[in-house]
Amino acid sequence: MLEIASQSVIIHGNSLTLEEVVQVARYHRNVDIGEDSCRKVNHTRKYVEKLLQEKKVVYGLTTGFGKFSDTYISQEDTKALQLNLIRSHCCGIGAPFPEEVVRAILLLRINALSLGYSGIRLEVIWLMVEMLNRNVVPVVPEKGSLGASGDLAPLSHMVLVMLGEGEACYRGVRMPGGQALAKAGLAPIVLEAKEGLALINGTQVMTAVGALACWDALKLADWADCTAALSCEALRAVKDAFDPATHIVRPHRGQRQAADNIRNLTSGSRLMTRQGELRVQDAYSLRCAPQVHGASRDALAYIAEKLVIEINSATDNPLIFADEEKVISGGNFHGQPVALPMDHLSISAAELANIAERRIERMVNPHLNEGLPPFLTKNGGLQSGFMIAQYAAAAVVSENKSLAHPASVDSIPSSGNQEDHVSMGTIGARKAKQIVDNAYAVLAVELLCGAQAVDFRNPQLLGQGTKWLYDRCREQISFVDADRVLSGDFAAIAGWMKEPGVLDELFALVPFHTYKN
């Protein structure tokens, strides 16, 4: 459930939730910085200024970057160093990220910097807050990050707008970055020592893409249980497979949740059958839905946990510990803690679509669909019905299988072999997002096939939860009485599934396990 709050999200650096990320990124909830974070940021910046006055050799403050880390930079050149860093690192390739992703990137960078370990001035963070609140959205190319020295290239494009350069969207119009700031009543900044590096050395791009994709995937898991339940009734499945006794003796949490959901949704059904009534047992795509869906549910809960940790972490380099008066060059920018969960997310979402496509096939195939009309049409031969709908679902599922190849097993050395192992986490996150979107399309096809099949049975025989689902589906899309273009129907249902709060009424009607933020 997603409730869009009217009050601002208060940033402390260590308490941001997935739900808040979605609210700010997609629904433009405002952001503010907590007083505790303001104090920490100011305290650390004072220590940075002390180091500069003492002319200490500190990576990123008085040295070059990457392979140039041994090159000393004088205090007089620190501003030029930071500007050159941003300009030279703007090497993004490809189409820009959607605005919601860039808004999430801004939010996560604000949150990480607000922990007070980066040495940046508070006014720089405030500019990012105001850009979010006034909806100045930098144009950030989606390709070009190795995901190990942070998301250097895409984050640089974000920062370029803060300097009055680059491009940004303001009120939906793309324009030069300085013009966008001016229209929003904001002024560009001049970066001082450490600030350019602090702004781009982090995992916020892969984490932003991953957070939105994971949130959508968590909702996808709920929809998968719903569409599976309707398919079970359409195919007159054996309800014994969802008996709690089976799932208690193999107590994976997600499996129990999925079995409970399907059982509760179909409660009261007169279409479900008992063991031996029509057949002894069903095909795996019906009988094993709790086990398959449940494995994805457990994986998604793990992925969400890792993302929340990453969202609330300091991920740049060097990190400044002002109280201890020390600066540590480490590796918190490395994306491996996100890269592996992103590959897991890809597989988990792909499998929800994979098993759904098999249920689609059973509903349209006259040899498997328990007496339903071939391809769910009244006039087979003259009409094709849902024949090619299954083709389309199969094509998307096959595409997902290619996309699900892990990105994190690859590594290409960079920066003169100084950065000799990289995560490819941003590539993994982008692929995961595409797979999740594809999976919604497959579930949309399954839902419409299920509703069409039930129309040939009798919708009044449905269980309490599946009847609600059928009724809401039919409010969106009518019965396919004669062949028509279906692609728009599938897109409409997939979009409806992604709307916030669509399932809240169902959750109030029947017991249902959903993700708790």
Residue with tokens 């160093």: 81
511-to-218, 253, 297, 302 alpha-carbon distances in Å: 17, 16, 17, 23
Q: Which of 233, 493, 225, 497 is nearest to 362 (CA)?
A: 233
Structure tokens that stand for 481 in this block:
């009485």
As a whole number of angstroms, the distance between CA 58 and CA 21 comes to 33
d(CA 392, CA 244): 35
* Contact indicator for 448, 496 with CB cutoff of 8 Å: no
Between CA 263 and CA 464 the distance in angstroms is 11
Catalytic residues: 59
How far is C-alpha 298 from the geometric centre of its chain's CA atoms?
A: 16
User: CB neighbours (10 Å) of residue 339?
Assistant: 28
DSSP-derived letter for residue 383 is B
3-state helix/strand/coil string of 92-145: CEEEECCHHHHHHHHHHHHHHHCCCCCCCCHHHHHHHHHHHHCCEEECCEEECC
In the beta sheet, which residues pair with residue 167?
176
- Report the Cα 48 to chain-centroid distance in Å: 35
Beta-carbon contacts of 384 under 8 Å, excluding residues fewer than 6 positions away, are 375, 377, 483
Q: Which residues partner with 137 through β-bridges?
A: 169
Q: How far apart are CA 100 and CA 102, in angstroms?
A: 6
Q: What Rg, from alpha-carbon coordinates, does the chain have?
A: 26
Determine the Cα–Cα distance for residues 55 and 72; give it in Å rounded to an integer. 10
